[in-house]
Amino acid sequence: MFYYFCANFKNHRMKRLSILWLVVLGLGFVFQACNDHKTYAEMKEEERDAIKRYIELNDIKVISEAQFDAQDSTTNVDLNEYVLFKESGVYMQIIDRGNGELLKDGRYEVLARYVETQITEEGIADTLSLNIWVNRYPHPDEFMLTKDGKSYSGTFSSGSMADYYGNSVPSAWMLPFDYLKVGRSIPDRSKIRLIVPHSEGTQYASSEVIPCTYEIIYQLAR
């Protein structure tokens, strides 16, 4: 009888210790998960730091919108100038405005060749997607652009961006059209570079709080 009682007591104690150990282990996982989780504010702060490092590493000279306007909406590529649009947080460098005309209100079919990179925490650009290799990507990306005053909307109809991220054209991709004279022939194309915070980028960048860069060539379809 005494042996039976001791055995039961021992088994009961072992079960309690096992349960306690599992609870402690579970709490450890919970606390670790909490430590690994970052708030949206923390992620945005890391994004700002990454963009700052990228600008420093690439010797980019940031100019204000006022200076940009004073320079007839141009950036000095030799000085590696980018204009910062404070409202959106987008930085833009115009490499070639193009030889067409400023867009009027209406709908336009736009062709685009681009390189997209993600800016890492160290400020280094890692390639995410591109379509500049004509032998591999014989057709440029295409999207329909609608202009109504200062308002733009766009939908990809085909291409790598549509395949990777869906049909919605990032806001940052449409921002340059207020300043470009995009033409319909190859010599009349426009070329720009962008530094894009997550809020103005693709749906993926927005959801993951990822800053990106783009080099884009625009051309109107014939």
**Domain limits for position 120:** 46-220
| pLDDT for residue 37 | 84
Answer yes or no: do 67 and 87 share one domain.
yes
62 φ, ψ to 5°? -90, 130
The residue behind tokens 């309690």 is 16
Answer yes or no: do 111 and 168 share one domain.
yes
Answer yes or no: do 11 and 113 share one domain.
no
> Does residue 102 or residue 15 have the better pLDDT?
102
Asked if residues 124 and 56 have their Cβ atoms less than 8 Å apart, the reply is no
Sort strands 125-130 and 141-148 into parallel, antiparallel or unpaired: unpaired
d(CA 103, CA 45): 36
For 139-189, give the secondary structure using H, E and C: CCEEEEEEEECCEEEEEEEECHHHHHHCCECCHHHHHHHHCCCCCCCHHHC
175 φ, ψ to 5°? -55, -40
Answer yes or no: do 23 and 115 share one domain.
no
- 129 pLDDT higher than 50: yes
Could you write out the DSSP letters of every residue in 203-220? Answer: HHHHHHT--EEEEEEEEE
Please count the residues of the chain. 222
CATH of the domain at 71: 3.10.50.40
Q: What is the pLDDT of residues 13-57, one digit of tens each?
A: 444 434 444 443 454 444 344 445 889 999 999 999 999 999 999
DSSP 3: H
CA 92 to each of CA 7, 173, 182, 203, 216: distance values in angstroms, whole numbers, following the listed order: 77, 10, 16, 20, 11
Answer yes or no: do 126 and 206 share one domain.
yes
Q: What is the pTM of this model?
A: 0.83
Answer yes or no: do 56 and 106 share one domain.
yes
Answer yes or no: do 32 and 53 share one domain.
no
d(CA 91, CA 204): 20
- Give the number of domains in the chain: 2
- Average pLDDT of the chain, as a whole number: 88
